[in-house]
Structure 1
Amino acid sequence: MLNSEILSNTRIIDLGTVIAGPQCAGLLGDFGAEVIKIEDPNGGDPARKLAPIKNGESLWWKVIGRNKKSVTLNLKDERGKQLFTELVKKSDVLIENFRPGVMERLGFSWEYLKSINPDLIFLRISGYGQNGPMSDLPSFGRAAEAFSGIQYLTGFPEGPPVHAGFSMADSLTALMGAYGVSLALYEREHNKKGGQMIDLALFETLFRIVEFPIVMYDQLQQVQERQGNQHPGGQPINTYMTKDGKWLTISAATDNTARKFLKAIGGDQLANDSRFKSNQLRVENAIYLNEIIKNWIGDRTLAVIEKVLNENDAPFYSVVMNTKDLFESEQIWAREDIISVKDEDFEDLKMQGIVPKFSRTPGKVKHTGPKLGEHNLEVYSKLCGVSEEELEKLQAEKVI
């Protein structure tokens, strides 16, 4: 019978560092998986030192480490390898994001891992994948964004390619990894053929979701160029400044929504303008359409714009929100997208809530990112049969 938490009977070893691997494990932990976070005894995951910092504590670690059990382990020590082997034998999923070859050099190849646990699902995240001429190269998220082609598309035509304002490649790869693990768990349950290895490159997540540049180049020999906040395949889509200095994004590219929007700002004359009757025509005449919208929005305050668009059933817009705006948004709080979690360092700590929202089996944030090695005794005694006295010895000898 399914527990109230979807993944409550699933044990995950998080051997990742910084963002992609750990965030993948964290997404699964939000829905009940037991996530055992293995960290280097000498300082732990570098994510513990990522900014922003308050009172010597990484605020981001509190989020990316939430719902996890932290244990320390030296995987270069033979006794550490033995403990790791015991954990793998009793786990459902192993997640790592080292460079290809690291796990093999430690003695934990896929061939060995599946020999000790045939049901193991092994997610391997790396910059360029486990094979190919670039597989041995190191890669962080920004390099992956550049290689995926998505950075080339982002920015204004007259400016350089730009990155998103967050770790997009890492974060979306974490999501794709959680998707892959979920599929593998489903397949294992239904086909009864054991686990499998999942090979995921940082750049591939973005490459897969980047829409149509690949097929466009294949069939039309055209390279998609940067277009700022406009969309190459639909109009009107752009971001404009209001008279009172607010940024507003318009997105009304289907024929029905475009007609309603154009009628709201320019009446039947604009809605029936032959240059804008179809999306193809609007794309071809985007320069003219963009100027009309820019002038209309620039001559009005946000309050007036919202009143006009809402009264004319054309609310195809959003104010560009900053973090302060999000904290003040009724919609965010109604959706519980910001929640308060008890924390020993900061009492009530606000962070992102659970996404997506399940009606019957909602996820839960039980605690913030733990202290380094906080769960050594619990995990090693329960899963590896190690006594408290033995643990103290292992710690003194820097095995844990």
Structure 2
Amino acid sequence: MASTLPTPSALQGVRVIEMGQLIAGPFAGKTLGEFGADVVKIEPPGSGDPLRNWRLLQEGTSVWWQVQSRNKRSIALDLRSTEGQDIARKLIAEADVLIENFRPGTLEGWGMGYDVLSALNPGLVMLRISGYGQTGPYRDLPGFGAIGEAMGGLRHLTGEPGQVPVRCGISIGDTLAALHGTIGVLTALYHRKVNGGKGQVIDVALNEAVFNVMESLVPEYSAFGAVREPAGSALPGIAPSNAYRCSDGFVLIAGNGDSIFKRLMQTIGRDDLGADAALADNAGRVARVEELDRAIEAWTLARSVAEVLEVLGAARVPAGKVYTAKDICEDPHYRARDMLLQQRTRAGHDIEVPGVVPKLMGTPGTVRSSAPGLGDDTDSVLDELGFSADDIAALRGRKVVA
């Protein structure tokens, strides 16, 4: 784990109980934990969070888990048992924030609806992430991030025209929901501070989180009846901005600013296009985007990615290569910005993991502890609640905790 000098934490003193699993809820907990919140993660005994076993495993544990659950404490607690629910309520009664991403109605079935929990803890801020939200005709349908991406309008735009829609390669719907949820938590905590200490529920739907970033999708349909369609690597309505083939790969070039466009055309030896009055603004360039893309790619095809980037960088034209994981790990800028950290797992392995975003200059985020093993902190969390060693042993014997 990266060593850092002690710094004040923006969320020091904030206690978060995380009941979620997999991606959306836990990513919100991860973000709060990186800025100092004490995040206690409740996991089912035996199996734990399924993310522990997703993708590539190192000695039986996902390396993804090492990022998603750093700065958290794990208590293995059977929430389906009456005793486990009682313990959860005790934990929540002393917390500032509760995160859950179960299907709507699950917590109510366990006797932990917000009406019950807020009576125990009036200041509780409760983040609820679900497929379609806590209300509406679809509330009870199962929803994953991929479905939210489809309903939110994103999947229709990904891929090449006329081809099968493709995913962007990561669970972006879950992450967008988590980020919206984190914003909601911070906003609610601020409101609680300045308005009498009362908490509230934050209701985040996966499809709505995706829909919120869909830019002009709906206004264009409302005003013009225009249904935006997939456009591959291009940026529809903005030109020129695309991925272009080089002799050894691809480079992205964004030459869509008026002055940038002129510099780009001069650089590629097409002053005729740069001086064309019809191409002086974006509307004119969009009308002739195919012609511009052909001209740019004719120039890039004769050069390597490195040469294109060097020449365009000198001309102050935004351009970039398409990075792989290897490229990221070898890039000096990532390291200079502390975006690659050494983190030691509980099993003693040193791995590189992403740094903390965003960067706060006064109260920066930190990695204070590695991701826990299942139930690593059960005893200490219960001890904080006043349970004796004999009490904990009895609970363990009844398989309420592990």
Q: TM-score range by the shorter chain?
A: over 0.9
Q: Which amino acid aligns with 2:110?
A: L
Q: Which amino acid aligns with 1:391?
A: I
List 4+ stretches of structure 1 deviating above 6 A: none
In structure 2, list runs of 5 or more residues that go unmatched.
1-6
> 1:276 deviation in Å?
1.9
> 1:233 deviation in Å?
2.4
Name the counterpart of 2:391.
390
Give the one of 47, 58, 73 matched to 1:43: 47
The within-5 A match list for 1:28-67 is: 28-67=32-71
The within-5 A match list for 1:152-163 is: 152-163=156-167
**Distance in 2 of aligned mates of 1:89 and 1:339:** 35
**Distance in 2 of aligned mates of 1:274 and 1:139:** 51
Name the counterpart of 1:361.
363
**Distance in 2 of aligned mates of 1:53 and 1:275:** 56
| SS of equivalent to 1:125 | strand
CA contact (8 A) 2:346 2:372 kept: no
**Distance in 1 of aligned mates of 2:365 and 2:310:** 38
CA-to-aligned-CA distance 1:139-178 (integer Å, 9 cap, x gap) = 1111111111100011111311111111110112111111
In structure 1, list runs of 5 or more residues that go unmatched.
none
Answering whether residue 236 of structure 2 is matched by residue 232 of structure 1, we say yes
| SS of equivalent to 2:253 | strand
**Distance in 2 of aligned mates of 1:306 and 1:131:** 50
Name the counterpart of 2:299.
296
CA-to-aligned-CA distance 1:85-133 (integer Å, 9 cap, x gap) = 1111100000000011111111111111111110000000000001111
> 1:263 deviation in Å?
2.1
Relative distance call for 1:84 and 1:311 in structure 2 (3 A) is closer
Q: Which amino acid aligns with 1:398?
A: K
CA-to-aligned-CA distance 1:276-316 (integer Å, 9 cap, x gap) = 211011111111111111111112222332332233232x1
Q: Which amino acid aligns with 1:377?
A: D
**Distance in 2 of aligned mates of 1:204 and 1:278:** 34
Give the one of 268, 279, 284 matched to 1:281: 284
CA-to-aligned-CA distance 1:333-389 (integer Å, 9 cap, x gap) = 00010100122324322100111111111111012210111111111111x210111
Taking only the aligned residue pairs, the percentage that are identical comes to 37
The TM-score with structure 2 as length reference comes to: 0.96
Answering whether residue 245 of structure 2 is matched by residue 241 of structure 1, we say yes
Give the one of 306, 327, 349 matched to 2:329: 327
**Distance in 1 of aligned mates of 2:300 and 2:192:** 54
CA contact (8 A) 2:27 2:175 kept: yes
Name the counterpart of 1:269.
272
Q: Mean alpha-carbon deviation: is it higher for 250-259 or for 334-343?
A: 250-259
Answering whether residue 225 of structure 2 is matched by residue 260 of structure 1, we say no
> 1:193 deviation in Å?
4.5
CA-to-aligned-CA distance 1:204-258 (integer Å, 9 cap, x gap) = 1110011101000000001000101111121111001211x22101112221222
Name the counterpart of 1:183.
187
CA contact (8 A) 2:313 2:319 kept: no
CA contact (8 A) 2:309 2:320 kept: no
| SS of equivalent to 2:166 | coil
Q: Which amino acid aligns with 2:314?
A: E
Relative distance call for 1:311 and 1:79 in structure 2 (3 A) is closer
Relative distance call for 1:289 and 1:275 in structure 2 (3 A) is farther
Name the counterpart of 2:350.
348
Q: How many residue pairs align between the two structures?
A: 395
**Distance in 2 of aligned mates of 1:11 and 1:86:** 13
Q: Which amino acid aligns with 2:188?
A: A
**Distance in 1 of aligned mates of 2:93 and 2:227:** 49
Q: Which amino acid aligns with 2:8?
A: S
Q: Mean alpha-carbon deviation: is it higher for 188-197 or for 7-16?
A: 188-197
| SS of equivalent to 2:353 | strand
